[in-house]
Amino acid sequence: MITSIKVFKEVFKPHNLAGRQQELREQTIKMLGQEILNGDLKVEPWMIDLDPSRIKVRKIDGYLDCSCLGLTSLPAWFQSIEEITESFDCSSNQLTSLEGGPQSVEWSFLCQNNQLTSLEGSPQTVGWSFNCSNNQLTSLEGSPETFGGSFSCSDNKLTSLEGGPQTVGRSFLCQNNQLTSLEGGPETVGGSFWCYNNRLTSLEGGPQTVGESFRCDNNRLTSLEGCPQTVRGSFDCYNNKLTSLEGIPETVGRSFDCRNNQLTSLEDLPKKIGRDLWCYNNAKEFTDADIPSTTKIGGKIKFKP
């Protein structure tokens, strides 16, 4: 019978732990010594400094996860890896560079929550989504040009979208940066386009078609000229300096929010708003009489907070 913690530790003390770790290391190197790895790979801390000369794997038929390891650079042995058929996740580290990463990722590339100042070294091909949010990026140069899914570069230090993707199948999220222009961004976005909490004074150069919601709230806009002409979701332009709604699309699929501006007229409202209209806290206190007879609103009208 075990009667003390000391005896318990002795009974259950791992046998030849160092030898077992070395055996595991050799098995891992043997596995990575093949050109194709069939299955997922989660990098453990003891794998970071594997000998690059012994690693031959070129393709991982699964995902590669090296997140949350405190990395400042990608492991040297990653340089042999050219293709990943699922996702590559190097998020939540201290990376300052993506050099040495895979060149093709068929699903998602996740590098958010690092210290990246550049996207140079990014894959040339990413099949679905790319997330580089919460870094120190000042430029999108080096990113792939096309995504079937979403692209998120929010919470960085971007002043321009130049160098970023031109085709995004789902959402493009660039909120919480220092953008002064949307020039260089995609023309068509299949999902949502969010550019709120920036320093925009104009929407010129932004997408003309947005498949879901469009958010340009909390900027320095005085005009909506250049905004998308098709928005199938909600349109949020509150907390700006708008004096007119001229340039707004004729149809907004869901709600339209233009509160907290300097509007004196609602004459340029969309012809159709699928759900609610929010228009309080403007230069004029609006009433039902200010809603154009040609505008059809599917939900409620919020004239007051």
User: For residue range 10-27, what is the model confidence (pLDDT) as tens digits?
Assistant: 444 555 555 566 777 778
Residue 66, helix vs strand vs coil: coil
The string of pLDDT tens digits covering residues 98-112 is: 999 999 999 999 999
Query: For the residues 291-305, what does the mean pLDDT come to?
Result: 96
pTM to 2 decimal places: 0.89
pLDDT tens for each residue of 248-267: 999 999 999 999 999 999 99
- The amino acid occupying position 298 is G
Residue from 257, 164, 154, 240 nearest 200 by CA: 240
Q: Which of 30-34, 67-71, 153-157, 192-196 has the lowest mean pLDDT?
A: 30-34
Q: Which of 94, 73, 85, 8 is nearest to 40 (CA)?
A: 85
Q: What is the pLDDT of residues 165-178, one digit of tens each?
A: 988 999 999 999 99
Q: Which residues contact 231 (CB under 8 A, 6 or more apart)?
A: 210, 213, 214, 249, 251, 252, 253
* The pLDDT value given to residue 91: 98
* pLDDT at residue 147, rounded to an integer: 82
Note the pLDDT of residue 5. 35
25 Cα distance to chain centroid: 35
Helix (H) or strand (E) holding 25: helix 17-32
Determine the Cα–Cα distance for residues 52 and 230; give it in Å rounded to an integer. 51
Phi, psi dihedrals of residue 211, rounded to the nearest 5°: -75, -25
Sign of CA dihedral 141, 196, 215, 181: negative
Residue appearing with tokens 């012994």: 54
Q: How confident is the model at residue 65 (pLDDT cuts 50, 70, 90)?
A: very high
* Residue 32 reports pLDDT greater than 90: no
CA nearest to 193, candidates 142, 229, 244, 162:
229
Q: What band does 42 get if pLDDT is binned at 50, 70 and 90?
A: very high
What does the pLDDT read at residue 2? Answer: 31
Closest CA to 298 of 259, 267, 264, 253: 253
- Residue 246: Cβ within 10 Å count: 12
Chain centroid to CA 86: 18
Lowest mean pLDDT among 21-30, 46-55, 181-190, 293-302: 21-30
Contact 137, 153 (CB under 8 A): yes
Q: Kindly state the average pLDDT of the residues 262-278.
A: 97
Work out the pLDDT band at 93, boundaries 50, 70, 90: very high
Please tell me the predicted confidence (pLDDT) of residue 167: 86
Q: What is the pLDDT of residue 86?
A: 96
Mean pLDDT within 186-211: 95
Query: CATH number for the 137-305 domain, one of 3.20.20.70, 1.10.357.10, 3.40.50.1220, 3.80.10.10?
Result: 3.80.10.10
Average pLDDT, the chain: 91
